[in-house]
Amino acid sequence: MSGDKKVLFSGMQATGSLTLGNYLGALKNWVTLSDEYECFYSVVDMHSITVRQDPAELRKRARNLLTLYIAAGLDPEKNCIYYQSHVSGHAELAWILNCFTYMGELNRMTQFKDKAAKHADNINAGLYTYPVLMAADILLYQADVVPVGKDQLQHLEITRDIAQRFNGIYGDVFTIPEPYIGKVGAKIMSLQNPEKKMSKSDENPNGSIYLMDDPDTVIRKCKRAVTDSEANIAYRDEQPGIRNLIDIYCACTGKTSDETVREFEGRGYGEFKMAVGEAVVSVLKPLQARFEELSKDKGYIDSVIRANGEKAGYCAMKTLRKVHKKIGFPERIR
């Protein structure tokens, strides 16, 4: 946004406990991409309140999530790691973009349909216009690329549509963002139901591996993972449970699915599940240790929050000024 590098934006909700899916589908790729781009990584706490939250809990989770970004390897000196709610530009641009988004488009969003079914007692307007806030997040920083898991692709599509519509009326205001989907781990499925994505909000805790799970819990969950009666370790659609475990194994070890199938040829599911569990533990252990260490350094985390919040606010204002001018808001008199 300010230099020669292309811009990257992504975010995660501070809702529930982060899962291995969040890590392998998103956070891990963020770290890989962070040298190549000018990066904005947001803790999207404004998105979280589309579902009722306990205030103290939300505040704690948001801070833990921000700390986890750093623990995962994102350097806050080089990457802008900040709270969405600290930059009012997100809400301002979201309002403007609401006026350029059709209800017909929002009606098609599968995440809205899923969440509305899950929270039938609280189908609020924020839940409905959630994708517009997400579009604002991305467009505010003129992002070229947005690394996400596969479940967010539809939201990226609508972001592009809104940006193109706006640009069609006012000229080239927004960069049109491209999604970045990792080759492995883009959709990690539940260990208890491999037809469903691994999710923070799963009622069955055995379906998800949480990033803060201890080694015994990880191994136990892997051992209990639902598979099939084929007794054959193969990477194919007919064996979704085994395929998901292969995906997890590959994403944690860097091996390919072919290599993995060869490695475990003729061996039993029990042995394979154990190896998957150990591979996950070897990824989570250093992450957890770094998180514990960072959490103790309150002053450091506070300084990151302050400096990066200001930087994000400054960059957001640049786009907002341009947008205000284009749509005809009167100039501010200083």
Residues in touch with ligand TYM (CB under 6 A): 9-13, 21-22, 25-26, 44, 47, 134, 137-138, 146, 148-149, 151-152, 155, 185-188, 197-198
**Residue with CB nearest ligand TYM?**
25
CB-nearer residue toward ligand TYM: 30 or 264: 30
CA 327 to chain CA mean position, Å: 31
CA distance 140 to 277: 40
What CA–CA distance (Å, rounded) separates 325 from 320? 8
Question: Minimal distance in Å, beta carbon 125 to ligand TYM?
Answer: 17
* Catalytic entry in 6, 187, 200, 322: 200
**Cβ atoms within 10 Å of 52's Cβ, excluding its own:** 11
What distance in Å separates the CA atoms of residue 205 and residue 55, rounded to the nearest whole number? 23
Phi and psi, residue 145, nearest 5°: -140, 145
Instruction: Supply the minimum distance, in Å, between the C-beta of residue 231 and ligand TYM.
Output: 26
Three-state DSSP state, 63: helix
Instruction: Please state the separation of Cα 156 from the chain's center in Å.
Output: 12
Q: In this complex, which beta carbon is closest to ligand TYM, that of residue 38 or of residue 137?
A: 137
124 Cβ partners below 8 Å, 6+ apart?
Answer: 50
| 298: its two tokens | 């309150």
**φ, ψ dihedrals at 226, nearest 5°:** -70, 130
* Beta carbon of residue 267, minimum distance to ligand TYM (angstroms, whole number): 26
**Least separation, in Å, of the C-beta of 152 and ligand TYM?**
4
Report, in Å, the least distance between residue 6 CB and ligand TYM: 15
Q: Looking at beta carbons only, is 137 or 144 nearer to ligand TYM?
A: 137
Angle, CA 153 vertex, CA 147 and CA 159 arms, to 5°: 90
Toward ligand TYM, which CB reaches closer, 152 or 253? 152
How far is residue 86's CA from residue 219's CA, in Å, rounded to a whole number?
39
Q: Is 115 a catalytic residue?
A: yes
197 tagged catalytic: yes
Out of 28, 197, 221, 273, pick the active-site residue.
197
CA distance 69 to 75: 9
Select 141 or 264, whichever has its Cβ closest to ligand TYM.
Answer: 141
- Catalytic residue check, 200: yes
Residues with active-site annotation: 115, 197, 200
